[in-house]
Amino acid sequence: MYKDIEGMDEPLHGFEEESRDLVELYERLLKENTQVYFETDEYESIIDHYAIKGGFKMAMRVAEQALVQHPFSATLRMKKAQLLTQERRHQESLDTLEEALLYEPTNYEIFVQMANVFDEMDRYEESIEQFQRALIYGTQKDEILLSQAYVYENWNKFDKAAESLETALEVNPNNYQALYELAYCYDLLSKPEKSIKLYKNYIDNNPFSHIAWYNLGLLYARIDKYEEALSAYEYAGLINDKYSPVFYNMGNIYVMQEEYEKAAESFEQSVALEDENPILFCQLGNCYKFLNKNEEARTAFKKALDIDDEMSEAWAGLGLTYYYEDKSQLALYYLKRAIKIDPECDSHWSNLGHCYLNLEEYESCEEAYKKAFSLDEACIDYVKDYVYSLYLNDKPDEALKVLDQQILEWEDEAELLALYAGILYEAGLVKRADNYLISALTADPESYTTLFSYFFSLEENSHIQEIISLYK
């Protein structure tokens, strides 16, 4: 989104007592039909008062009256143009700004305001032309270039935006917003190494910028350089130990590395700073769940639900803590609550199927696995679970039919071939089963683990073990 340069179109803040008195005076004189002279800056304050309250007609009336008293004022015309732009009367705004240029032809702020209007009209080329004119007269060239870059971004010309931002940083290396936008452009242009170099150069001159270190960490994480990312986050945390996103992102990296103790420590630091963020508590709960600290996990999930009782992930997390304790009946309650909130979440249905499997409620198990599979047919675990549930419900032919179809669709079908072999072995079709097992082992010598994970008793079969030994 386009952002005005500093000093242009300043936000309308709360008025000081003097400004309120000025508006009251104006309204009193208006009621009395008395004409009084106001300075241009006083008129601007009165116009702003009505504009911020949404009183466009009154604001425009004041602007017109102000121009009667100050017919040669460029700033009042700029204020009028701003009102017209807010009402999307863009051409009238441009015409008014052209009038302003007659009185102040070298005022770069007029060119910037015109550029802003053209940008809103999606007339990007003309907007850039106005920025080029502003650069001739403007003193804040880095800010003008930054604003020009926003237009290029709106125009989807990110290479041009990057060029503009590079020039802005040459003018003012400490323009942090330009730095941030340039890194954003490099990211969109698939040039992460340039972004990293950019932040490193900035950090050389500003070593205590925790935001720069944090963004550097984000960039490293994006290209899977997790150790470098952690190092950058650590520096950011040392500089500012109150910046919660640092610890949250560190925790996420540790989760990906399956270092759940460290992840939990990071999330603990984060929740200490943001104790009203349910996502943080849910992430913390997941870490404790993986560490088999189910009581601590439940405490974290319940805190998440205290903040947001519609957070399905927290309900599911609670359910899984009971599932891991072989309390599947109790786990069902929480997983069903999660599904009620988010019925399109495939993992909730899959976990529900696991519970029913533990309880040997095979029809419900099949229904749950089928739903998970229908929500994400690209997940091979869902394929296997659904096929196995069909087998458990005495539907081997249907299970093999699903496998036949899925084997054709999967490039790496070794696990499915192994599962196919298991169903055939259980049916006593040994020769056919051998062929499928050999095909599975040829594709992946470790695929026998899938066979035994579903059909435990086959692990004791010497014939099968003999075939497997040929591929070790």
User: What are the pLDDT digits (tens) for 142-194?
Assistant: 999 999 999 999 999 999 999 999 999 989 988 889 988 998 899 889 888 88
Low-confidence ranges of the chain (pLDDT < 70): 1-21, 23-34, 36-40, 43-55, 58, 67, 69, 411-412
pLDDT for 24: 62
CB neighbour list of residue 385: distance below 8 Å, 6 or more residues apart: 350, 353, 369, 372, 373
pLDDT for 31: 62
- How many whole angstroms separate alpha carbon 354 and alpha carbon 351? 5
Q: How far is CA 402 from CA 60, 407, 417, in A?
A: 71, 9, 12
Q: Which fold has domain 1-156?
A: 1.25.40
Mean residue pLDDT across the chain: 88
Identify the CA nearest to 162 among candidates 149, 145, 175, 143.
Answer: 149
CB neighbour list of residue 198: distance below 8 Å, 6 or more residues apart: 179, 182, 183, 186
CB 146 within 8 A of CB 178: yes
The rounded percent of the chain whose pLDDT value lies above 90 is 65
pLDDT tens track for 368-399: 999 999 999 989 999 999 999 999 999 999 99
pLDDT for 18: 56
